[in-house]
Amino acid sequence: MKLGLSILSITIIGWATLITPAYAQDQSQNHHFLIVRYDDYSPRIPMHQIDAGEELETRLFELFRRHRARLVVGVIPFPVMDPEQQELDPLSDNTPPSWLSQPNEWITLLREYVHNGTVDPALHGYEHRRHPPTGYRHGEYRLQPYAWQLASLRQAQQMLSSSLDSRVDVFVPPWNAWDANTARALEELEFTWLSPDLNHAEYSGDQLNIAPQCTADPAQALQWIQKNQDLPGDVALVLVTHPFDFAGEQGETYFKQLEKLLVYVETSNNWQSVGFNDLPMLQASSWAQRFREAVTWDRAQVILHDMFDTAGVTGLIQRQPVFLMPQSFYDSQTWYWQGMIYVVLFFTACVGGAIAWITSRWVRSHNHLLMVAAIVTTGLLVYLILGAVQIVGTGYPVRGIRWQAIAGCAGVMAAFWIIWSSRQATASASTTRQPDQNDQNQPTIDSTRSVQST
């Protein structure tokens, strides 16, 4: 199997050399945009004390101000302060108390940097409470009823906007998890931007702009930018950070990597550090359509990379940097990655069929064993497919190795059933011919008997 995939890999790599990335299609507008998110802003935990008492948030906000950069801060209006805290009901008539409406260092700091233009505030959930059951992807909004989502978003948006004296129309879902009901509620409340991840795309409209997380590593973001100097115009890269990224000894390294990224962007002729509302408003549905295409493109890369990792040929398929590219890029690239997936799956199914054919030669005289094998592989295929459906239902993507297993099992199952059916047909035809031959011999026997009796 691995040898076969290695041969297939060489074929695909040869094909890949004929395809050049469609980066440099239009550089007449060579503006590129870096958006940095800082999620989980709330007094759920004390401000991190670093450098002899300097607070992380103060240092972080000042870093962005000093480098003339923008920081999107995801704010939690009604954070869960205690795991045992009773869940709030946004459908009730009462608005719960929030730290945003009370004097404290968190709101004072946030207001200061929002008003001086450094911070671009975003809504980051209601309570930031995990709702889905065990085994499902973490999230506060995904799989929740539309009425609950609408009420909680309205209440949270009103609280944050009133506390900052500025309308907030950017939503960053907790754990990046959302669904079609979330998008519908955001449209109803006239939100402008949604920033999830690339796991799934459940929005088919064009009123909501979507720019997903591209990476959580500032060093990786800087490397991508430096190695891709020929990007077309209006490319965006969303870097996501959290308070825990800056904790401990590794936190200081993370902070320095982030500063290097901001310094590079500040001195770049092409890159700008912006908030979501600073991004250019292109033609209708442009950002939403980009997002949908980016999800398909990224998922194809992840699946293919997983397939080759499993086959032991890691490195032959290199994942491309995850920028949010123009529509023309996806039009020219997505088909290529999806085409390679279909080739690998077809090859895997053929290998499965060949294995079934070889196995059938060993049990040539035992058709009942072939039928048992066909039934078993059919059951296994159903199990694998139902498992894939369940994985999608929990909010996670299906890995490439499972798709390969489904394709291989389908090839084995089809071959077993075809071979078994063919042998059954042959045996039936043989049984049918035997009585016909006896009938043809019967008149001769009867004639002989008549002669003898005469």
List the pLDDT tens digit at each of the 454 positions of the chain.
444 444 444 444 444 444 434 444 444 457 899 999 999 999 876 544 444 345 889 999 999 999 999 999 999 999 988 778 889 999 998 889 999 999 999 999 999 999 999 999 999 999 999 887 777 888 999 989 999 999 999 999 999 999 999 999 999 999 999 999 999 999 999 999 999 999 888 898 888 999 999 999 999 999 999 999 888 888 999 999 999 999 888 999 999 999 999 999 999 999 999 999 999 876 545 899 999 999 999 988 888 888 877 655 555 566 678 899 988 888 888 888 888 888 989 999 999 999 888 888 777 667 778 788 889 999 999 999 999 998 888 778 888 889 989 999 999 999 988 888 888 787 777 777 655 555 555 554 454 444 444 4
DSSP β-bridge partners for residue 324: 236
Report the candidate in 38, 70, 63 with the shortest Cα–Cα distance to residue 272. Answer: 70
Report the candidate in 96, 183, 174, 94 with the shortest Cα–Cα distance to residue 146. Answer: 183
Indicate the burial class of 310 (C-beta count within 10 angstroms; 0-12, 13-18, 19 or more): middle
DSSP β-bridge partners for residue 33: 236, 272
Q: Can you list the domains of the chain with their CATH numbers?
A: 1-25+326-435 (no CATH), 26-281 (3.20.20.370)
Provide the pLDDT for residue 115: 95
What pTM, to 2 d.p., does this model score? Answer: 0.81
Give the three-state DSSP class for 5.
Answer: helix
Spatial contact of 78 and 274, defined as CB atoms under 8 Å apart:
no
Provide the pLDDT for residue 230: 87
Provide the pLDDT for residue 54: 54
Provide the pLDDT for residue 396: 80
Instruction: For 157-195, give the DSSP string.
Output: HHHHHHHHTS---EE--GGG---HHHHHHHHHTT--EE-
Please identify which residue in the block is written with the tokens 């939503």. 171
